[in-house]
Amino acid sequence: MSSRSYFKCNPGWVACALLAIWPQAPALALDLPVPVDKAAHFGVSYVVADQLMRAGMRPEHAVGVTVFGGWVKELLDRQFDAGDLAADAAGALAAAYIRVEIKF
């Protein structure tokens, strides 16, 4: 593998990595209008649905798989939060809209 292909990365994975460290970084604890937890759910669901569609999955299936994964995650939490599930659905739907309508 050449070093050029090694350093080529998908922007979706970069966004996912940044969202993964966001809640742990105290310097990034800003007073945002959207709670960090909901923004993380939205962002991770967006990236998952986008990557599933890039791998060849139909948009409606990618949204379903992503929301189902969010639902299972909420069931495994000690406290079910419908807001987290709504953020998961919004992120997956945003990815599907951008892939289908904007063709990005």
* Residue 43 falls inside a structural domain: yes
What is the widest separation between alpha-carbon atoms in the chain? 47
Residues 6+ apart with CB under 8 A from 32: 39
State the first-to-last Cα distance of the chain, in angstroms, to the nearest integer. 28
Residue 2 has pLDDT above 80, yes or no: no
Residue 26 has pLDDT above 60, yes or no: no
Q: Which domain holds residue 39?
A: 10-25+33-102
pTM, two decimals, is 0.69
Residue 83 has pLDDT above 60, yes or no: yes
Total structural domains within the chain: 1
Assess if residue 2 is contained within a domain: no
Structural tokens at position 91: 């992120």
Rounded distance between C-alpha atoms, residue 62 and residue 57, angstroms: 6
Whether 81 maps to a domain, the answer reads yes
Q: Could you give the 3-state DSSP secondary structure of residue 91?
A: helix
- 66 inside domain: yes
